[in-house]
Homo-oligomer: A and B are copies of this chain.
Amino acid sequence: MDIKPFALAIRLLLFNKNGEVLLLQRSKSSKTNPGRWELPGGKIDPGESFDTALNREIMEETGLVVRISHAAGTAEQIVPGWHVVHLMMTGSAISGKIRISDEHEEYRWVGIDEVKHLPLADWFADYYSNNRKIFVRPEQSEEMT
């Protein structure tokens, strides 16, 4: 029985005008998912609202000011000591120039169909496989209504 304490992380599906999503490659020295690709975002600080936390993390990790738009599902991750729930939001950039932090090696705008070809962080791979319709342009999707 899993009785690890929960933690909540907020993540952003940041799309550009070409419909590509911003992915970050985790540092090769990360304890979890080293060198794997993920969405920007992170944990909520004590007393911080979830959207404030997401805006702060996006600024720290990407240098961008963003507008958060919509909720886009969840994913889970088991790490030593924690059961992390990832809450995904969609959004777009308002201003800024991308500048990544020491937590990541590289950034890339990734086309919808390319995402699955990258080595993804475990929780993001699960999310991607369970929420394909979010990554499929409406005109391509048979699932979207």
Contacts and interface: CB of A to CB of B under 8 A. Distances in A.
A35 to B, nearest CB: 25
B73 A74 contact: yes
Nearest to A84: B71
A137 interface: no
Interface of A: 2, 5-8, 46-47, 49-51, 68-76, 85-89
Interface centre among A2, A49, A86 (most CB of B within 10 A): A49
Give how many copies assemble into the complex. 2
Contact of A70 (B50, B76, B87, B88): B76
Contacts of A46: 47
A68 B87 CA distance: 16
A33 to B, nearest CB: 18
Contacts of A74: 71-74, 87-88
Contact of A47 (B47, B72, B75): B47
A13 to B, nearest CB: 12
B50 A6 contact: yes
Nearest to A76: B71
A8 B9 CA distance: 13
